[in-house]
């Protein structure tokens, strides 16, 4: 397993597109019936304690799920306990992806905040009922937030890994070993972008959207070397609307929060089809469309 930290590492060890993941066939979601902001865990939550309107959140979530079904994907739901106020953000408590051989695999996360730790067991139950066995990281790893900080490259045998406040490098190394994939480390340098999925979206095998302010110069150089096309997310839309937290399940449709006209026009100019969805209640907690789903893939 290679660990790529710089553009020099990338150029010395070029990865060819010989191991794409299987296609997305379904998503795991969590209804926001208990969704609430009870403390401040990221910059977006400042001043938002107690501000969630559950009726509006449920409507926004239902519209989100309908839009996913509209492009032909199945939607599976977890059944969170009342105390699991963040369970709507299913990207974090696990990583559901494909390994180097193209087999569907799930690795359970190690959540950073105590009241989110039990969420991984809800994910285990849902995935195993679906027929996918879940695997765990070594016990010594205490913080690794799944798909929030770990993105499977859509063409190469590689994981893009965010190095920030929520995930240990050791967790990324262990995930790479389990999946038999190389890893590329990207330092998250801005607290507004506390997870990799708030600042990097892999749209197809050669295209990524990114938030410039989230990365170091070294990270930006690495992304430029790795992708033929980079689409810069508008900085104001990234900060105010979490536009970088977009999701493209099929190389064509891009789910993105509403109120992001500049970024949506850039996506359209690159040949993608933005599907704007109102995620306003979830933005208050620092999450949007990518945070609200966990992929399930077919075997390649």
- Compute the distance between CA of residue 109 and CA of residue 29 in angstroms, rounded to an integer: 16
**What predicted TM-score, i.e. pTM, was given to this entire model?**
0.96
Half-sphere exposure of 99 (CA within 13 A, CB side): 15
C-alpha distances in angstroms, 19 versus 5, 62, 206, 299? Answer: 21, 34, 14, 12
Domain count, the chain: 1
Structural domain of 37: 3-297
Segment 63-96, tens digit of pLDDT: 999 999 999 999 999 988 999 999 999 999 999 9
CA torsion sign for 108, 109, 110, 115 is: negative
Contact call for residues 191 and 215 (beta carbons, < 8 A)? no
Name the band, by pLDDT with cuts 50, 70 and 90, for residue 16. Answer: low
User: What is the CATH number for 275?
Assistant: 3.75.10.10
- Beta carbons within 8 Å of 8's beta carbon, 6+ residues apart: none
Contact call for residues 119 and 86 (beta carbons, < 8 A)? yes
Segment 225-277, tens digit of pLDDT: 999 999 999 999 999 999 999 999 999 999 999 999 999 999 999 999 999 99
Long-range contacts of 12-15 (CB under 8 A, 24+ apart): 13/182, 15/153, 15/156, 15/157, 15/158, 15/182
Segment 146-191, tens digit of pLDDT: 999 999 999 999 999 999 999 999 999 999 999 999 999 999 999 9
∠ CA 97-217-165, rounded to 5°: 50
Name the band, by pLDDT with cuts 50, 70 and 90, for residue 300. Answer: confident
Q: What is the SS3 assignment for 182?
A: strand
């Amino acid at each position: 397993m290679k660990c790529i930290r710089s553009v020099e590492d990338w150029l010395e060890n070029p990865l060819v597109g010989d191991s794409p993941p299987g296609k997305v066939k379904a998503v795991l979601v969590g209804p926001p019936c208990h969704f609430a902001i009870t403390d401040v865990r990221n910059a977006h939550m400042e001043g938002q304690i107690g501000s969630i309107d559950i009726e509006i959140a449920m409507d926004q979530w239902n519209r989100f799920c309908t839009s996913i079904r509209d492009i032909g994907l199945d939607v599976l739901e977890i059944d969170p306990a009342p105390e699991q106020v963040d369970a709507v953000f299913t990207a974090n408590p696990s990583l559901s992806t494909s390994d180097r051989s193209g087999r569907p695999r799930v690795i359970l996360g190690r959540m950073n905040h105590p009241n989110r730790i039990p969420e991984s067991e809800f994910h285990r139950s849902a995935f195993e009922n679906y027929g996918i066995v879940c695997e765990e990281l070594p016990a010594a790893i205490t913080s690794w937030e799944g798909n929030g900080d770990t993105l499977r490259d859509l063409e190469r045998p590689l994981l893009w890994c965010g190095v920030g406040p929520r995930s240990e490098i050791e967790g990324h190394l262990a995930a790479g070993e389990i999946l038999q994939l190389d890893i590329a480390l990207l330092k998250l340098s801005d607290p507004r972008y506390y997870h990799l999925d708030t600042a990097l979206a892999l749209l197809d095998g050669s295209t990524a959207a990114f938030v410039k302010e989230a990365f170091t110069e070294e990270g930006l150089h690495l992304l430029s070397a790795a992708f033929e096309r980079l689409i810069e997310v508008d900085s104001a839309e990234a900060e105010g609307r979490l536009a970088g937290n977009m999701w493209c399940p099929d190389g064509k449709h891009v789910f993105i929060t509403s109120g992001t006209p500049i970024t949506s026009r850039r996506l359209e100019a690159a040949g993608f089809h933005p599907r704007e969805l109102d995620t306003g209640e979830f933005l208050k907690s620092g999450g949007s469309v990518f945070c609200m789903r966990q992929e399930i893939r077919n075997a390649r």
